[in-house]
Chains A and B, each alone.
Chain A
């Protein structure tokens, strides 16, 4: 394996490499985008992906006040009802709260559809890909936070810092209301510290297990006391904050939450931990324990860690090197990573130019595949890699691709051709011949990669040769559906 981080030559960068870059850095692209990036060459192609990452921003229409603290009148009425044991009034108050929660859950559906739509439509796919990475890294769950607006606000915060500085991102996270609620830091106060946020910040967000002691968690929790939430905003509650001296990982001072984060960022374990995260997200499905990572990959991770440190945790310069590196385009890297549900679903529509169909069905499909946006399985985020694939999720993956290509609802048995509403023929622009073999080869190169061996193409050649009417929109749709059901299609 080529483990060099020096840049790939322009002469070595063709459509296959451009396709790989689009798939890994973004969510894939069609023949036009692939050719455009291939012609631009590696420098411009990577710059283009990174620069788009800081361009536009989109806002969703999410009501900030569906979940809000009670007004003074409401609170007084509730206290009175409780004092008088007025069950009717208490019940009415609960009914109103339940109604708001139901409204909030509906809004969560809107938010999911909005983000899936944005990932499909955006001209900054690398930015959205990074937002998804940070969502999994600094994972919060709506089912605990129970406030869609806070989840949306957190999502926008990830977008703002997407390819910026990890250090600033980590600081923003200790000020983020959704995270503070999710990890109970709104209950962390001087008299009774709550260690949840401090613990996860070390274990999952910055250092990894084994790089701190229980006493560091206790001291860190004290630093984070008073980092509370006021409705939709961060609030520093000075009275609840423990301003006295703490010692965290050998450093001593009157630390607050921000200082605590600084101490963690200064640990040598931190850039290593984040480098491995980036490597696993963009390059290869290796273990999340550095000790278990094969030597060659580990050497690359360690060099990424050095770069992160040297660049003060700026993500852009590190990605620029990584996404242009010889290592990134090595045949042992290309086509060997399992697509996340987002990569699969968003990638299929972006690559094939299918209709978007129903965003709700797509986000439901992603949930069935194990990637429920805004509700990752735990604070540890999504495991990724082979964990995505089992006998159930594999059928769901295939069937959601069938849905995108043909319009056949994965939950219904019936289908008719009129539902398809998709013209696949533009994919064949530039393919001179309409003979089965060149058409199959072109689409296999697009969907599976040009590294796909001849024997895997054979069944597709015979399928296409067996069509009476030759290469027509119908037979091409059938072919795309078949390719999307190949094991290799789950890889990128």
Chain B
């Protein structure tokens, strides 16, 4: 990457793109956009070239993933004692650490290979003090990075707010799904959110083609509007939305170079790979995969979920490698809590506390990070965390995104030792 250049590769491409496109149908908007580019391309960023090109992908495993059946402490008797009906047999799992007796669920074979190729790492025993066992409340904690009271903004949103004002942040964060996750809500920077890209546009276009021309006219700037005019503000947002919609839909229409499994997480990661490849000015992508709330008969169900997760991640990085963008992308996967050590009477597990986090990308320190939480010293039947999730956030923000983590987390956390950068 062009570390020594005042432009990042992407900014260069974009300002070029904007110049070329001045002949298109929205001239005034684009001249505004190229003037923004001209401003932002001016001064040297503190870390020339690199940070603006770096992308963070957050994968949320919703419902509370059973960490103990994901990263499995097969060396501990208590694991088999507490989980007679749902434990994974030692002969079935993939051994990661023979000394400690830690293995991966057999569905995670693709992730095991990624670890072997230096592309994956598992952080064990991640949690926070005074854990909450409600899905929503615990998710709020992970999203805001605040364990006491939050004022509603998310850790990614607060981080991206620090970049607001210097650059055009209208596409800084994209979340896939029906609603924008709280994690991505900043005071200034808000995510672009859509479930399917074909829905990220005005739906009136599907009614009758005759409406298109008028819609484009009424959402186009006739003359410069004063900054403080609310209609002008909305019009500018509408034009940004139009451009974002065109760029996103154009990006995801390009077919992938490699193949992806047919599940929903893979479908979303495929879109993200396409958007990364199209060099959208997006720094954070957010996806969620549900179904991890396995209260009953979980064995097959959990195996299927982990298979979906592992094969999707593997396909995602293969595509990124094929398109030459692998170096730019770090992925973090988390769940709002792990599950209780002892299985329940229905062959499932109930809400618990600490669990593993996964990181992917060529910049991770591959392997296992931290110790597995003790299975003998428990807090009322629950694991005790030893790594605060915010120290993983701190590492991602400080070392990868090059954004001061204190701005996002409110106070300093010692960055977890998970990255090689």
Contact = CB atoms under 8 A, between A and B. Distances in A.
A interacts with B: yes
Interface of B: 134, 136-137, 140, 149-152, 170-171, 178-180, 182, 185, 190-195, 198-204, 206-208, 210-211, 213-215, 217-219, 222, 230-231, 233-235, 237-238, 240-241, 244-245, 295, 342, 344-346, 350-351
A413 B214 contact: no
Contacts of B344: 87-88, 91, 94-95
Given A94-B350, A478-B210, A482-B211, A394 B193 contact: no
Given A378-B150, A459-B218, A485-B215, A394 B346 contact: no
Contacts of B136: 143-144, 146
A478 B211 contact: yes
A392 B134 contact: no
Interface stretch (A113-121, A250-258, A404-412): A404-412
Given A392-B200, A395-B245, A411 B195 contact: yes
A487 interface: yes
Between B195, B198, B241, the greatest number of chain A beta carbons within 10 A of the residue's beta carbon is seen for B241
B230 A491 contact: yes
B271 to A, nearest CB: 15
B236 to A, nearest CB: 9
Given A391-B244, A413-B206, A487-B234, A91 B345 contact: yes
B203 A410 contact: yes
Given A91-B344, A143-B137, A486-B218, A491 B202 contact: no
Contact of A415 (B206, B222, B345): B206
A463 B207 CA distance: 15
B345 A466 contact: no
Interface in A455-474: 455-456, 459-460, 462-463, 466
Given A87-B344, A481-B211, A413 B198 contact: yes
A338 B245 contact: no
Query: For chain A, what secondary structure do more than half of its interface residues adopt (helix, strand, loop), or is it mixed?
Result: helix
Nearest to A146: B134
Give the interface residue-count category, chain A: 35 or more
B231 A394 contact: no
B66 to A, nearest CB: 14
Contacts of B194: 392
5 contacts: A87-B342, A378-B151, A386-B230, A392-B190, A459-B218
Contact of B230 (A337, A395, A415, A462): A337
A492 to B, nearest CB: 10
Interface of A: 87-88, 91-92, 94-95, 98, 143-144, 146, 196, 285, 336-338, 364, 367-368, 370, 376-380, 386, 389-395, 398-399, 402-403, 406, 408, 410-411, 413-415, 455-456, 459-460, 462-463, 466, 478, 481-482, 485-488, 490-491
Nearest to A490: B234
Given A378-B152, A390-B190, A485 B202 contact: yes
Contacts of A399: 199, 202-204
Contact of B192 (A87, A88, A337, A392): A392
A472 to B, nearest CB: 13
A368 B211 contact: no
Nearest to A484: B204
Contacts of A403: 203
B214 A459 contact: yes
A336 B230 contact: yes
B214 A462 contact: yes
A488 B231 CA distance: 6
A419 to B, nearest CB: 11
B200 A395 contact: yes
Contacts of B215: 482, 485
Contacts of A368: 178-180, 193
B200 A88 contact: no
A186 to B, nearest CB: 15
Contacts of A88: 344-345
A281 to B, nearest CB: 16
A391 B192 contact: yes
Contacts of A378: 149-152
B40 to A, nearest CB: 19
Closest 7 CB pairs of A and B: A378-B152, A91-B344, A377-B152, A391-B241, A143-B136, A487-B234, A459-B217
B196 to A, nearest CB: 9
B193 A482 contact: no
Contacts of B150: 378
Given A87-B345, A462-B214, A402 B204 contact: yes
A367 B179 contact: yes
Contacts of A414: 206
B137 A144 contact: yes
Between B136, B231, B342, the greatest number of chain A beta carbons within 10 A of the residue's beta carbon is seen for B231
Between B200, B238, B351, the greatest number of chain A beta carbons within 10 A of the residue's beta carbon is seen for B238
Contacts of A380: 151-152
A389 B204 contact: no
Given A386-B233, A463-B214, A482-B211, A91 B350 contact: yes
B323 to A, nearest CB: 25
Nearest to A372: B179
A98 B340 CA distance: 15
Given A146-B134, A368-B178, A392 B193 contact: yes
Given A94-B351, A390-B170, 19 more contacts: A94-B350, A95-B346, A144-B136, A196-B149, A364-B178, A368-B178, A380-B151, A386-B230, A392-B192, A393-B190, A394-B237, A394-B241, A395-B200, A408-B203, A459-B214, A459-B217, A487-B218, A488-B234, A490-B234
B348 to A, nearest CB: 9
